[in-house]
Structure 1
Amino acid sequence: MHLLRELPCKGLKPNAISYYSILHALFRSEKCGAACDLFDDMQAAGVVPNIPTYCILLDGLCKNGYLAEALSVVSMLNSNGIYLDIAVYTTIIDGLCKDRKLESARDIFDNLSSKGLMTNVITYNTMMNGLCQGGLLDKANELLVKMEENGCKPDDVTYNTIVKGFLKRERYREAMTLLEEMRARGFSADISTSEIVVDLLLAKSQDPAQLEMIKRILPTSKYGVENTK
């Protein structure tokens, strides 16, 4: 902040990138008041915020519990005819999901195409994670199918997200089906998924066939499947 204020004295004018970097740091440090003041100072100095700056603002507001303020910013931008890209809406969807406003998040998600926006894998993963966290696993599974129907290929994050959702709810049959599908596509379970599989699945079943299948799917588990028998 001190260096930023010194720039005019050196004949230099801060640009959007200068403010962007500090805004990002302030929000990560949970200094929301200072970040919002800096955003106001930025505009007062005649620096027009760009889309990445608005993304930082919205992400910072959402992650620090200021969802209403974030939605107000989006409403203002829409009213002013400012184009908002998929990254902005993904940020808002994530904020709504974390605030357990899944219906509102799904409404925004379902209307993205009407805004001329192409839903990407990050947006799908964000919505899917929200549904899984809310216990709406069947909806998450439906979204996985819809995702591919719409030409968006799932990635390893997609599968790990939904597999963990089913495992945490002890819906092991669906989880195993998805794990096999994940493996067939060349993806592997991440560390947190592997830990859940070892801690939950192996603890609840000693069926040899199931254990062998799990060893094939998770051969490099952190804990080692053999050691959990």
Structure 2
Amino acid sequence: MTPQCFLKTLKTAKQTYTFLIYKLLLNSSSINQTLASPETPLSDLNLSTLRRILSDPDIKSWKCISLFNFILENPSLFSFQPDLRTHLSLTFRVLSERRFSYAKELLKPVAIDDILRYPFNVIVSSVIDECGCEKKVVGRFFNSMIMVYSDNGKFSEVVEVFEYMKNNEVKIDEKTCTLHLLNLKRCDQMELARDFFSLMVESGIDVVTVYSLTVVVTVLCCNGEITRARELVEEMGLVKGVKANIVTFKSMIGCCVKRWDFEELDLVLKLMEKESVMLDLDSYKVLIDGFTSYGKVEEAERLVLMMHDKKLRVESYLYNLIMNGYSRFGLVEKVIELYSEMSSRGVTPNKDTYWVLMNGLCKAGKVCEAMSFLNELRVNEFEIDEEMYSTLSEECYRVGMIDKSLEVVAEMIRDGFIPGATICERLADSLFEVNRKEAQMLITIVVKCGIKPKSCSQYGLK
């Protein structure tokens, strides 16, 4: 055979193998099974052939990705490994189809992997050399690079990509910037988040939105920089025309309330009014909780009335917070007044409502009224817990209502609770004094609790 014939035969053989791989990929529904088959001529696949396959529009992109991943996962089966150019070629293909999650997975090895990773400037050079894509696809590529770096904690590289995009007029997606800020917040990189937002603002590019503003405001609030957060909201409204929304303001409200910084809270609420942002249901709840915990109970009550006026749903626990606040100050009349208002406004009291009422009345020495609410609890089929029973029995004893205290203890036992040794001993002492037989029963309970009361020796019991 002449050398020319030999070369022609060899060329034909290679074309046959290449065509066979092409045909298998084209017709297969399961790429991994196809590639694992002994009939697949993998040894004849080379880098040049791979590039042609990956760029072939007749082969679905998902099949190309499966082939590509198979090669990466089985390096021993091949005499080559995909290079940077091959990675980028397939990445641009899937980005042109808006398959962003695939693109990010393809970029991870060349951007993050300890062995395969390339510096960003090398990746940029390859993009410039190889890219014949539309401008919007190039934008998608660099935005994907930002997310790959950000998702994997390569925050300095994010800034490098951002600067490159800004300097070369590549469109930066505002959503990409917001997601990066969220990653920084999740990683507790508060300073980096502030710095990156400043970079966004100073870039002169229209990438600052209410979403990115809200993230940075939250970051500042987490650091206790409430005043800076409020000033930033004002600045962005004036300079960038970016108006804060209720979510932005809720971060500041929550921070002010937690820190009991009511002076700053007033300024935040005034800014809300100026920006025509209305309080929502959650904001009212946070404010009421904050006011009552600090002791600004009247302010909290005023907010509940505003909620009713605005037809917002007022839950019973909000009334409970205010009633408990008044109870702490001994203003039991206000507690009763609010309970009546609840009923008139159609807000159904819950078990905690009754507990606040009964506890407040007991502290004020109005034990009879507290006992009447115990009966109301039963009527409404609420479960009476051990703490309620203990409080009522002790308060009844304190005001000299021995029989009522004994009645509560008996009911407590019927419901499966063990009364406190102290109240049992006190009741026993009182009952022994008047020679009541219930005294023996109470002493027995105390002894079963492992406590030897003074009544035992005092009255000759062992």
Give yes or no for TM over 0.5.
yes
User: Measured at CA, do residues 54 and 7 of structure 1 come closer, stay the same or move farther in structure 2, by a change above 3 Å?
Assistant: farther
Alignment check: 8 A CA contact 1:167 1:175 kept: yes
- Is the alpha carbon distance of 1:105 and 1:79 closer, same or farther for their aligned partners in structure 2, counting shifts above 3 Å? same
Aligned mates of 1:78, 1:7 — CA distance in 2: 43
CA distance in 2, matches of 1:54, 1:217: 48
* Residue aligning to 2:295: 65
- 1:104 matched to which residue of 2? 334
Query: What is the alpha-carbon distance in structure 1 between the residues aligned to residue 268 and residue 316 of structure 2?
Result: 22
Paired position in structure 2 for 1:113: 343
| Map of 1:183 onto structure 2 | 413
Query: CA separation of 1:17/1:184 partners in 2, compared to 1, >3 Å: closer, same or farther?
Result: farther
Amino acid of the structure 2 residue aligned with 1:226:
K
> What's the CA shift string for 1:158-180, capped at 9, x where partnerless?
22232222122232221111011
Structure with higher Rg: it is 2
Query: How much does 1:226 deviate?
Result: 1.7
In structure 1, list runs of 5 or more residues that go unmatched.
none
> Matches of 2:323 and 2:367 in 1, distance apart?
17
Q: Distance in 1 between matches of 2:301 and 2:329?
A: 13
Aligned to 2:304: 74
Q: Which runs of 5+ in 2 are unaligned?
A: 1-187, 198-211, 219-246, 456-462
Matched letter for residue 69 of structure 1: E
Pairwise CA distance, 1:150 = 2.7
In the aligned structure 2, how far is the partner of 1:6 from the partner of 1:41?
Answer: 28
- Kept in 2, the 8 Å contact 1:55–1:91? The answer is no
Number of matched pairs: 217
Which of 133, 136, 142 is the aligned partner of 2:366?
A: 136
Deviates further, 211-220 or 97-106: 211-220
User: Offset at 1:136?
Assistant: 1.0
Within a 5 Å distance, the mapping from 1:1-229 to structure 2 comes to: 9=194, 11=212, 12=215, 14=218, 15=247, 22=255, 25-26=258-259, 31-33=260-262, 36=265, 40=269, 48-51=279-282, 54-189=284-419, 193-198=420-425, 200-201=426-427, 204=430, 206=432, 209-218=437-446, 221=449, 224-229=450-455
Alignment TM-score, normalising by the size of structure 1: 0.73
Q: Residues of 1 paired with 2:448 and 2:288: CA distance? A: 39
1:123 to partner: Cα distance = 0.8
**Inter-partner Cα distance in structure 1 for 2:399 and 2:378:** 24
- Pair 228,68 (structure 1): closer, same or farther in 2 beyond 3 Å: same
Q: 1:106 to 1:24 in 2, by over 3 A?
A: same
Deviation at 1:82, TM superposition (A): 2.0
Q: Pick 1 or 2: higher relative contact order, CA cutoff 8 A, min separation 6.
A: 1
CA distance in 2, matches of 1:115, 1:194: 43
Aligned CA RMSD, in angstroms, stands at 3.8
Contact 1:32–1:60 under 8 Å retained in 2: no
What amino acid sits opposite 2:454 in the alignment?
T
Distance 2:192 2:352 in 1: 37
Q: Following the alignment from structure 2 to structure 1, what is the Cα–Cα distance between the partners of residues 278 and 306?
A: 18
Change (3 A) 1:225 1:64: same
Q: Is the 8 A contact 1:183 1:217 kept in 2?
A: no
Whole-Å separation in 2 of the counterparts to 1:145 and 1:62: 28
In the superposition, the TM-score normalised over structure 2's length comes to: 0.40
Deviation at 1:25, TM superposition (A): 4.1
1:10-48 deviations in Å (ceiling 9; x for gaps): 64264588568746643xxxx353684597499579695
One-letter code aligned to 1:89: Y
